[in-house]
Amino acid sequence: EETGLRQKDLVILNEKPKLKSEGTKFLHTPSYIDIHQISQTHRHVVLVYFLISKTDRLRQAPKEHFDLRWVAKNQLKELKPKLTPQIKFYCLAALSAANSLSFAD
């Protein structure tokens, strides 16, 4: 919701069982899970999923972000402010996951 991307424009790369079972809804498995400190008394648990967007249009949520844009792998090192090590790791892992897919025309 923070990017303006719509569900119909996204393809999730994470898996979930194809099994149908009444009363059970299977969820996509996250690629990574982390917990990080926000303040001395507050932490966030994050479930990381990788997706591919069918559109390049983004809508910035001003209360959430000061900058929002697509960047190429070779631009990651030059971003200001610098990416934290974990965000850079997630970016590179997502690119690797996306590049391992083959898309049929």
What is the rounded CA–CA span in Å between residue 88 and residue 85? 5
Tens digit of pLDDT at every position of the chain (105 positions): 678 889 999 999 998 999 999 999 999 999 999 999 999 999 999 999 999 999 998 887 777 766 778 999 999 999 988 999 999 999 999 999 998 886 544
69, 75 in Cβ contact below 8 A?
no
What is the rounded CA–CA span in Å between residue 92 and residue 85? 11
Domain parsing of the chain, residue ranges: 7-99
101, 93 in Cβ contact below 8 A?
no
Q: Strands 51-53 and 42-48: what pairing?
A: unpaired
**What pLDDT is attached to residue 104?**
46
**What pLDDT is attached to residue 105?**
40
